[in-house]
Amino acid sequence: MTNRSRIAPWALRLLSCVRFDEVLVLQGAPLLGAVFAMNALTFQGVAALMLLSLGNAFLVAHVFLLNDWSGVQQDLLDPARSAGVFLNRGIRRHEIGVLMLVLLLLSLLTFSQLGLATLGFGVMIAIASALYSFPHVGMKGIPLANSLLHLVSGVLHFLMGYSVFRHPDLNGLKIGLFFAVIFSAGHLTQEVRDCDADLRNGIQTNAVRFGKRRSFIAGFVLFTLADVLLLALAWSGAVPWVLGLIVAALYPLHFYWTLQAMREGLLFESVRRLQLCYRVLYAGIGAAMIVSVLLT
C-alpha cells in the first residue's frame, strides 16, 4: 500500500510534464488530412480516425518532451518557464527520457495498425523532431533552416492523416501546404515570444538573428499567404467554397490582433495572447473544414 501511495503522485507529476495543450493543438492537421481523404464516414473509418488521433497524441507528446529534455538547462534560466521545468517538479532527466521513448514506441506501434505509409510519415516526423531538438544536432538555433524544417514537418503531419484513407497525391500536398505554412508562421511567432530568453541562452533563432519586429512581420506574412492559398484552393474546387468565405471574413480579425500586439511592443504576454487568439480562430476554420467536407 505504501509503494502504491508513492507511485501515484510520482506518475501524476511525470504526466504533468507533458504539454497537453500543445498536444491538443497539433491534433488538427492529421485529423483534417484523414477527413479530406475519406470517401465516406463509416464505422471502420471512425475507428481509423480514433487510432490516428491516439498515435498522433503519443507522437506529439514525444516531440514536446524531447524538446523539453534537450533544452532543460536553458528553460531553467527562463523566468517565464523555470517554474514548470520538470526538474523543479521532482522529475529527473532520465525519467523524462524513458517516458519520451515509451511514447515514441507507442505512437509507431499505433501507426503500424494503419498501414506502412502512415507509419513511414510518423517515422519522418520523429526524425524531423530529433533534427530540431536533439543536443549538438538541433536546428532550433539555425535561422531560416528551423522554419524550413517546420514547413516540411507541417506537410508530413497532414499527409500522415491523409495516408490513412488515400495514397498521398498532388491534391493532398496542396491542401497540406496550407497547414504547413500556418505551422511555420506559428513557429516564427513563438520565436518572437521567446526572443529575450533565447537571446540570454545564446540560441540563434530567427527572432534573435533578424530581430523581433522583422520575424513577427514575416510570421504574419506567412499567415496571410496561408489564407490566400486556402482561397485559391476554394476557388479551384479543391476544398469547399464556403471555406474561402470563412477565411476572408476572419482575416481582418487576425490583422487587428496582430496590430494590437505590435502596438504593445511585442512583449511576452501580448504575443502569447495573440497566439491564443489565432489558435482559436484557426481551430474554428478547422472545425468548419470538417463539417463542410463531411456534408459535401
Query: Between helices 28-37 and 43-70, what is the axis angle to 10°?
Result: 150
The answer to whether the CB of 131 falls within 8 A of the CB of 152 is no
DSSP state of 18: S
The answer to whether the CB of 92 falls within 8 A of the CB of 30 is no
What is the structure's pLDDT at 1?
A: 46
Count the Cβ atoms, other than its own, within 10 Å of residue 165: 21
The answer to whether the CB of 126 falls within 8 A of the CB of 84 is no
What is the structure's pLDDT at 8?
A: 61
Coil, strand or helix at 137: coil
Burial class of residue 57, CB neighbours in 10 A (0-12, 13-18, 19+): buried
What is the structure's pLDDT at 135?
A: 76
202 φψ region: left (φ > 0), alpha (ψ -120 to 50), beta (else): left
What is the structure's pLDDT at 289?
A: 87
pTM over 0.85: yes
CA distance 268 to 134: 25
CA distance 147 to 149: 5
Give residue 175's identity as a one-letter amino acid code.
I
In this predicted model, what pLDDT tens digit does every residue of 74-120 receive, in sequence order?
Answer: 777 777 677 777 777 778 888 888 999 999 999 999 999 999 999 99
The answer to whether the CB of 62 falls within 8 A of the CB of 129 is yes
Question: Which residue would you say has higher pLDDT here, 174 or 138?
Answer: 174
Coil, strand or helix at 115: coil
CA distance 250 to 227: 10
Which among 109, 75, 118, 116 has a CA at the least distance from the CA of 93?
Answer: 75
Q: Collect all residues with Cβ–Cβ distance below 8 Å to 13 and sequence separation of at least 6.
A: 89, 90, 91
